[in-house]
Amino acid sequence: MPEPALTTGPEPGPGPRSGGGEGGPPPGWLRRELSNPLFRNAYALMLNGGVTTLLGAAFWAIGPLYYAPADFGRNTAMNQAIMFVGGITMLNFLLIRFIPETARHTRALVLACYGIGAGTAAAVGAAFLVTLRVWGGGWTNFDHLRGLGPGLAFVAMAVAWNLWNAMEGVFTGLRRAGWVPAVNTVWCLLRLGLVVALAGAFPHNGIVLAWYLPAMAVLVPVNALILGRLIPAHRRANLGRGPRSTHREIARYLGGGYLGGAFQFASVSLVPIVVAAHLSPATNAYFQMAWVPGMMLDLLALTLSFSLTVEGAFDRAGLARSTRAALRRTVTLMAPVTVLVVALAPVGLEIYGHGYATGAPLLQVLALAVLPKAVIELYVGVLRVQKRTRLIAALQGVRLAGVLGLVTLLIDPDRLATIGVAVVAVNVTVAAAILPGLLRAARPDPAAAEGHAGGPSTTDPGRDNS
């Protein structure tokens, strides 16, 4: 794969100064946008969301043609369980926050996150399987997980998914997010071919195998690129630049940051597992067909949040300016997307046949949660830069508890849209509560602007714990 044309050296913060040359920003809207590292990273991640959404739609369109609805429902439930275990244990929040301000020890940070994340995913996956007989006795959606062989495969897939997400966090933290859509395109095309190829030999679990086998294969060459080429380039470009967090500060960030990330991920991946306990396999397939694209819409919010964290860590004095820019893009991008999804959901799901249009009202309601979710995620991006991890954990914990509680109360197999109502209600409430704090963070800070204008901060050589 050709390397995306992204720079490796230190770059100016977002705003007019991030253009090229003495004459100001380069001409043309697109070139101006891509000259800004905040938007370049965000647009690369949004492109990734668009690619994975389109190829994912093809994947989920092909699945019902080759697999019975009951098998399709069980496979999607199993897939959500694997994604939950692999995702709840990932340490992306550390990579995104601290890679921008590391240089000499970037490789050590990445390998530590890989090792801790993979080991934790294996342990949590094993605990999930051991307790399955206690809490999942009547859950027909998970009956294929019983036995040593399926259990080992489940744990291996959970570890692979943990490393896959960590890999994307490394690209983002290195300001090389252009690699994310390139790698994901290869993965999506491979799984698209496998979902058909495996249907005959593995009619009951081919969908899950098609999802994770390509990921395991792609992880090896991509991490060879990261460790052998991109991290050394990052180190050369960033030695001696800016302040560095100490090992103690990183360790202190870990606890609250992990809880916040875990709660955020659980609000996406734990809900479908809980819902699967109340639905038949066929009805669960209709739910999943709406839930998956609904959650893909969250990628738009998460990409700006991650990019805001990276640029805030690179240029802390420019955090308010970056926050204002991210807020403007949020409204510009999210509003039309919401309208389009609400208008096209019934037609889009009708294409799948087999009654999948039953989930259209749910998808339409989930689209209404995109804007409030974006507000929340941008605020979390600001809090990451400020290292206010306790507030992140509290905020995401409240959101998760609210969604799970309301979903449990409102779930109705005959009216799946009630699940979306719970998601919208909780996110609107939380967004309204944190909006004043986000607006305060976006206000211009004359003192910070004056410090930024005076030039980049210098690093105390005795404090280079990067």
Q: How far apart are CA 316 and CA 243, in angstroms?
A: 10
Distance between first and last Cα of the chain: 30
Mean pLDDT calculated for residue range 112-117: 94
> Within a domain: residue 464?
no
Is 424 inside any structural domain?
A: yes
Would you state the pLDDT for residue 88? 83
What's the total number of domains in the chain? 1
- For 304, the domain range is 35-447
- φ/ψ region of 244 (left if φ > 0, alpha if ψ in -120 to 50, else beta) reads beta
Which single residue is written with the structure tokens 């294996």?
A: 122
CB contact at 8 A, 167 and 95: no
Better-scored residue on pLDDT, 221 or 98: 221
Which pLDDT belongs to residue 230? 94
pLDDT at 41 exceeding the cut of 90: no
Cβ neighbours of 339 (radius 10 Å): 11
In a domain, 26, yes or no: no
**Pairwise pLDDT comparison (280 vs 183), residue with the higher score:** 183
Between 277 and 287, residue with greater pLDDT: 287
pLDDT for 3 equals 34
What is the reported pLDDT for 35?
A: 59
Distance CA(152)–CA(126), nearest Å, equals 8
Q: Give Cβ neighbours of residue 401 (< 8 Å, ≥ 6 apart).
A: none
Residue 10 lies in a domain: no
Cβ atoms of 94 and 247 within 8 Å: the answer is: no
Range list of H helices, 136-205:
148-173, 179-197
Which contacts of 402-407 are long-range, i.e. CB under 8 A and separated by 24 or more positions?
402/426, 402/429, 402/430, 403/267, 403/271, 403/427, 404/267, 404/270, 404/271, 404/274, 407/271, 407/274, 407/275
| Three-point CA angle 72, 420, 301, nearest 5° | 95
Q: Rounded to whole angstroms, how far apart are CA atoms 77 and 154? A: 13
Residue 45 vs residue 176, higher pLDDT: 176
What pLDDT, on the 0 to 100 scale, is given for residue 316? Answer: 78
Give every CB contact of residue 306 below 8 A, 6+ residues apart in sequence: 41, 42, 45, 96, 172, 381
Q: How far is CA 204 from CA 200, 271, 278, 279, in A?
A: 9, 23, 21, 19
Cα angle value 277/283/287 (rounded, 5°): 85
* Residue range 381-403, pLDDT digits in tens: 899 888 888 899 999 999 999 99
Give 23's pLDDT tier (boundaries 50, 70, 90): very low
Domain-located, residue 314: yes
* pTM: predicted TM-score of the whole model, two decimal places: 0.68
As a residue count, the chain comes to 466
In a domain, 324, yes or no: yes
Residue the block writes with tokens 């995306």: 4
Confirm whether 136 is domain-assigned.
yes
pLDDT single digits (tens) 125-134: 999 888 876 6
Q: Nearest to residue 187, comparing CAs of 225, 214, 151, 210?
A: 214
Calpha distance 52→440 (Å, rounded): 35
Average per-residue pLDDT in the chain?
79
Token pair, residue 48, equals 């990734």
Nearest 5°: the CA angle 161, 164, 169 is 130
Separation between Cα atoms, residue 272 and residue 286, nearest integer Å:
12
Buried b (16+ CB within 10 A) or exposed e, 414-444: eebbbbbbbbbbbbbebbeebeeebeebbee
For residue 19, tell me if it sits in a domain: no
Among 432, 429, 1, 377, smallest CA distance to 185 is for 1
Q: Out of 41-50, 55-64, 356-365, give the one with best mean pLDDT.
A: 356-365
